[in-house]
Structure 1
Amino acid sequence: MSSNYAIIIPAFNEARTLRDIVESALEFSNVVIVVNDGSQDETSQVVKDLPIKLIEHAQNQGKAASLWDGIQEARKHQVDYYITLDGDGQHAPSDIPRLLSKLEQHPDDIIIGARLSDKSAIPAKRYYANRIANFWLAWAAGYPMSDSQSGFRVYPARLFEDLEISTSKRSSFVFESEILIKAAQRGIKSKAVSIPAIYTQDARPSHFRGVRDITLITLMVARHLLLRGMYPQGLYRSAIKPRLLPDYQGKPEYAGYLMGLLSTLVIIMTLGISLLGSLLYVRKTVRAATCRADYDFVVILGKQLKNNKPDREYIERLETAYQLYDKNSHLEFYLLGGITTDSEISESSAGADYLIEQGVKPAQIHCEEQSRNTLENLAQLRESFPSSDLKIILITSPYHLARAGSMARQFGFKVSLCPANTINSKKMIARYIGEAILLHWYITGLIYSRITHNRAWLSRISAR
C-alpha cells in the first residue's frame, strides 16, 4: 500500500457498488477520498466505517465540483499523484497497477485508463460520442488521444498548482475534458493504458448524456480553438501527422477519422457552403420521396430500443412498413440492426416481434443482428441479399433518408425511399443538421477514396 497516491472517488447514488470499490482502493493507498455528491440513497452509510476521508455535499453539485473538492483534500496529504475513478463499477481498482506501470515510464504525464479498444463491450452511442470528443479534444490539446472521456486517471499533483478551471454543475463532464487542454498548455500530455470496458446489464443509467454533454464539450473546445486562432498546429499534430506514418496505409479502421477531418476542412474552406448544400439535399430528398409498393423487398432500418422495445420513432418506421403489407401481402421484410446500448435483444428482433404482433407472417421477416450503424446495416444486407434482384423499398425516418439512400445506392441497390411518418418537433431540426454533417462526411470520403484509389476505404463504403 502506497502513501504517494491519493485515490479520489466521486459518488452520486452509488450505494450498490461503492463499498466494494473503496475496499479494493484501500489495498493500493492509505489515502482514499470519497465525495458523496448529494446522493439520495445510502451512499455515505455503506462506507462510513472504512478508514477514508468522506466529503459530503448537501446538494448535488456535479462531477466537476466533486473531483475538485476531492483534489483539494488530496493536496493536504503531500502526495505526488492523484488517482481518480468512478464509483459505479465501470472502473476496477484492480487495474490501478496497469496505470502505475505506465506512470513509471511517463512520470510527468497524465495516465488514462482507455476503454475504447474493446468496442464490442461499449454501448454504441457512448462509443461514437467518445470518438467525436476525442477528435476535438486532441485538436485543442495538440496530440492524439485514445479515450478522452475516461475518468480513470492518474494526475501529477503539480498540475493543480494555480490551475483555474470551471467546476460549475454545467461543467460536470466538461471538467475532465478541459483539464486535458489546460494540462497540454502546461506541457503535460496524457498517455493511455488499455483497460477492460465494464458495462454490466444491471448497471444504473449513466449520468453522462451523450448529446448534451458532447455539445457542451464541443463548445468548450471551440472556445479554446478560437482563442488560439483555430490552432492549426494542433490539428496537424493530432490528426494529420499520425495518419501520415507508413503503418497507417491500408488500415480502413482509421480511414473514417481521416474522412471526418477532411470533411471538417472542406466545410471550413467553403465557409460552410458545402454543409448547407448537404442540408438542402437532405430536405430535398424528403420532399421527393415516394413510398411505392411495386418492389418485393422492404428494408427497415433499426433504431435504438427503449426498455427492449421499439421507441416511438422506430414504431413509426414499422407502421409504415405494415401499411405497405396491407397493399401487398407478398412483401419480404428485412430488418436491420444488432444489439446496441444496454438492450438485451437486437433492434431487428424487436422490430420483427412488433410486425408479427400486427399480423405479418414470420416466414416473410428476415433479421440482420450484427450491425451497429447505418453503414454496417447496408454492408451486411448486401452480403445476405438475393443476388438476382437488388431492388428495395428503404424505410427510415425522413431526416435519415438522404444518407441511407446514398449509401444503399453505393452498395448496388436500386432504392425506393419511403419516409416514416415522423412527427416534426424541435428535436427533428437538430437531427436534420446532424444528418447533413454525416452525409457531408460520407460524400467527402467517397470522393476522396475514388480520387486516391483507396481500395481499403472504398471496400467499406461501397460495392464499386
Structure 2
Amino acid sequence: MVEGEHSAQDRGPAPYRPCIVIPFYRHEGAIAGTVERLKPFGLNCWIVDDGSGEPSREVLHQIATREAHWVRLSSHARNRGKGEAVMTGLREAHAAGFTHAVQIDADGQHDASDLPRLLSVSRAQPQALVTGIPVYDESVPRARLYGRYLTHVLVWVQTLSLQIRDSMCGFRVYPVDTALAVWDQGHVGRRMEFDTEIMVRMFWRGVPVQSVPTRVTYPADGVSHFHMVRENLRLAWMHLRLLVGMCLRLPRLLWRRSA
C-alpha cells in the first residue's frame, strides 16, 4: 500500500452527525413551542419556510435571532411543497457536514421527547430510514385515521413487504446522502405525498426501514393545510406511479423477498 493510503477498514466508520430539519408553512402559532421542546437535545436545526409570508416571517426571524447558536432559517420565495422544504434543509445540512437529519413537523403534533429513541435506532443502524409509528389519542380525526389504513395496504403491495409499518408519519430520521440521491432522481412528489413516496423509493433502493412508536396529538387549535380533494388526487396519482414502479421492479422485489 502506498504511504498515506488507508483502507476503508483502517479509517473506521464515518462519524454520525445528526441535526434537525423542520419544514414550515404558516404555523406561526406553534413553531416557537416546537423549537423550545427541541432545544434540550443540543442539535443544530434548520427551519425551512416554504413561502409562508407575513406574519410567519416575523415570528421565524425572532426565533432565528434568539436561537442563533443552533437554529438556521432558510426560505422559499414561494410555496413549493413540503418535500421541497425538507430537501432544502437536507441539502444545507449535508453541505454543513451532517450525516443524518431528523424531520419533524412544525405544528407540534409530534412528541419531541421521543427524538432520542429515534436517534438511538438510527445511530445503531446508520444506513436505515428510521420512522415513527403514530400512537394516537382521541384527538385524531377519524377520516384521517381510516385514510392511513388504506395507504398502509397500498404501500405493502407496492413494496411486497410489511417492513414499512407507517409511511405517512412526518417524524423520522434520514441518512442524508441516500435521501438526496433518491430525491435527485426526480420522481418524488413535492407536496403531501412526499413522506410516503420517498420512503417507498428509498426502500426500493435497498434502504432498510426501522419503526419506533411515537405519540401524536392533533391540537384543538391546530392549523391543517390538507385540502381534501386536491391532496387526495395527488395521493391517488402517487399510488398509481408507485404501483407501476413496483411492476417494473417486480423481479428484484421478489428476489429480495425470497432472500
Whether TM exceeds 0.5 here: the answer is yes
Residue 201 (structure 1) aligns with: 220
Corresponding letter in the other structure for 1:36: D
Distance in 1 of aligned mates of 2:29 and 2:208: 35
2:117 matches 1:98: yes
**How far off is 1:31 after superposition?**
1.6
Does the Cα contact within 8 Å between 1:136 and 1:221 map onto a contact in 2?
A: no
Residue 138 (structure 1) aligns with: 156
After TM superposition, the structure 1 = structure 2 runs for residues 250-265 of structure 1, keeping only pairs within 5 Å, are none
Residue 158 (structure 1) aligns with: 177
Corresponding letter in the other structure for 2:81: G
Residue 244 (structure 2) aligns with: 223
Does the Cα contact within 8 Å between 2:45 and 2:72 map onto a contact in 1?
A: yes
Does the Cα contact within 8 Å between 1:225 and 1:231 map onto a contact in 2?
A: no
* Higher RCO structure, 1 or 2 (CA under 8 Å, sep 6+): 2
Corresponding letter in the other structure for 1:224: G
After TM superposition, the structure 1 = structure 2 runs for residues 407-446 of structure 1, keeping only pairs within 5 Å, are none
Return closer, same or farther for 1:113/1:226 CA change in 2, 3 Å cut-off.
same
Residue 22 (structure 1) aligns with: 35
Residue 11 (structure 1) aligns with: 24
Pairing partner for 2:254 from 226, 229, 233? 233
2:75 matches 1:38: no
Distance in 1 of aligned mates of 2:137 and 2:39: 30
Corresponding letter in the other structure for 1:9: I
The CA RMSD over aligned residues, in Å, is: 2.7
**How far off is 1:157 after superposition?**
2.3
**How far off is 1:30 after superposition?**
3.7
Query: Displaced runs of 4+ in structure 1, greater than 6 A?
Result: none
2:108 matches 1:89: yes
Does the Cα contact within 8 Å between 2:137 and 2:217 map onto a contact in 1?
A: no
Does the Cα contact within 8 Å between 1:33 and 1:55 map onto a contact in 2?
A: yes
Question: Could you report, residue by residue, the CA deviation over 1:386-421 in whole angstroms, capped at 9, with x for unpaired residues?
Answer: xxxxxxxxxxxxxxxxxxxxxxxxxxxxxxxxxxxx
Return closer, same or farther for 1:136/1:230 CA change in 2, 3 Å cut-off.
farther
Distance in 2 of aligned mates of 1:83 and 1:228: 29
- Structure 2 spans left out of the alignment, 5+ residues: 1-15
Residue 343 (structure 1) aligns with: none
**18-27 or 151-160, which moves further after superposition?**
18-27
Corresponding letter in the other structure for 1:34: I
Does the Cα contact within 8 Å between 1:5 and 1:83 map onto a contact in 2?
A: yes
Pairing partner for 2:136 from 118, 124, 130? 118
After TM superposition, the structure 1 = structure 2 runs for residues 20-419 of structure 1, keeping only pairs within 5 Å, are 20-46=33-59, 47-49=63-65, 50-51=67-68, 52-115=71-134, 117-118=135-136, 120-144=138-162, 145-160=164-179, 162-163=181-182, 164-166=184-186, 171-207=190-226, 209=228, 211-229=232-250, 233=254
Matched position secondary structure for 1:103: helix
Does the Cα contact within 8 Å between 1:178 and 1:220 map onto a contact in 2?
A: no
**174-183 or 222-231, which moves further after superposition?**
222-231
Percent identity between the two aligned chains: 24
**How far off is 1:23 after superposition?**
2.7
Matched position secondary structure for 2:177: helix
**How far off is 1:120 after superposition?**
4.2
Does the Cα contact within 8 Å between 1:112 and 1:154 map onto a contact in 2?
A: yes
Distance in 2 of aligned mates of 1:133 and 1:9: 24
